[in-house]
Structure 1
Amino acid sequence: METVEQTGGCQCGAVRYRARGELGYPHICHCRMCQKAAGNYFMPLAAAMRDDFELTRGEPKWFHSSGLVRRGFCGDCGTPLFYDSPDADSINIMLGSLDDPQAVTPVMQSNLDSKMVWFHTLDGLPVEQEPETNDREDRIAASNRQHPDHDTSHWP
């Protein structure tokens, strides 16, 4: 039987990690603290057992957002990576930092009292038209500094 493995890291590639085994309790947290930590409307998380988790490049910086929890992020590019209760047997990974974020589907939501009341309207919003030329996208691609969605021997 093949062991499931998830890899991921920050946008600039300074911090990379690997988690073996299924990620537990993939969920979306809507609490205000997660909103602030993500700079977004919610935070998608899932737990990796500590024994099955390793940093493969660099070290995150940590912010103690409460007396019980610290949040790990890249000190270079600022990408949020981890939600950690140091006494727990697992560490939570931010699902958007996975190399393949579509591989893990959330099964639950939490802290709905802070959920944006207009989320149900998102699918009805108009879709921005694609540009007639790819000039801007070509310039972005030519100057892209984002780490690829896979492990590399070094970066940059």
Structure 2
Amino acid sequence: MGASPEYSGGCQCGAVRFHVRGVLDHASICHCRMCQKSFGAYYAPLVSVRGAEFRWTRGAPKRFASSTVVQRGFCVECGTPLTYEAPDGVAIAAGAFDTPEQLPPHIQYGLERKLPFVDHLAQLPTRPSEDDAAALAFQAALVSHQHPDHDTERWPV
């Protein structure tokens, strides 16, 4: 029998970090209006940690009761959305994982509030950042304060 998969992640500033051990096989996208507002986005990509070992390894999120049954966790320092917490379990924001590419969504919820253009996002024109001449000076001056996509002993260093 093989070892259980392990994942880590956290907020943008590194004040809140987590670790998960176990199979994560329920990644989803929610289009409901509460998730849109909570994530400040067109939809919320979430990964259920139900059945896995989940723990906070640095700090913990602050929570907001977005309804009578759901709390949303976020980093109080940088504002990164982190959790959807309902009576049936906790889901973590997919983008908060250090390796979100390992957790593709398998289902969509809240389709009654899905924005009409979402299905066409992949058809929009694209441009790699380095090909955007107007942004080159901005990019050259940019110094990231974002936590790296791996665990660190302490942050900031």
Is TM-score (shorter-chain normalized) higher than 0.5?
yes
- Could you list the per-position Cα deviations for residues 118-156 of structure 1 after superposition, in whole angstroms to 9, with x for gaps in the alignment? 12322222224613484432321xx21000000000000
Q: Structure 1 length normalisation: TM-score?
A: 0.90
Which residue identity lines up with residue 4 of structure 2 in the other structure? T
Residues 78-106 of structure 1 deviation map (CA, whole Å, 9 limit, x = unaligned)? 00000112x43x31111011001100011
| C-alpha distance in structure 2 between counterparts of 1:45 and 1:123, whole Å | 20
In the alignment, what sits opposite 2:139?
137
Written as runs of structure 1 = structure 2, the 5 A alignment for 1:74-89 is: 74-85=75-86, 87-88=87-88
Please identify, of 130-139 and 1-10, the stretch whose mean Cα deviation from structure 2 is larger. Answer: 130-139
The Cα shift of 1:51 comes to 6.1
**Shift of residue 49, structure 1, vs aligned partner:** 3.1
**Partner Cα separation in structure 2 for residue 44 and residue 81 of structure 1:** 11
1:118 matched residue in structure 2? 117
Superposition misfits of 4+ residues, deviation over 4 angstroms: none
Q: What is the rounded CA distance, in whole Å, between the counterparts of 1:6 and 1:82 in structure 2?
A: 15
Equivalent in the alignment of 1:148: 148
Note the aligned Cα RMSD (angstroms): 1.7
Q: Does 1:92 align with 2:110?
A: no
Please tell me whether the aligned partners of residues 22 and 51 of structure 2 are also in contact (alpha carbons under 8 angstroms).
no
Instruction: Give yes or no for contact 2:42–2:118 (8 Å, CA) kept in 1.
Output: no
Q: Alignment identity in percent?
A: 43
Distance in 1, Cα, partners of 2:116 & 2:132: 31
Q: Distance in 2 between matches of 1:23 and 1:40?
A: 23
Say if 1:50 and 1:91, in contact at 8 Å, map to a contact too: no
Report what 1:3 is aligned to: 4
Distance 1:78 1:153, change over 3 A: same
Name the aligned partner's letter for residue 114 of structure 1: R
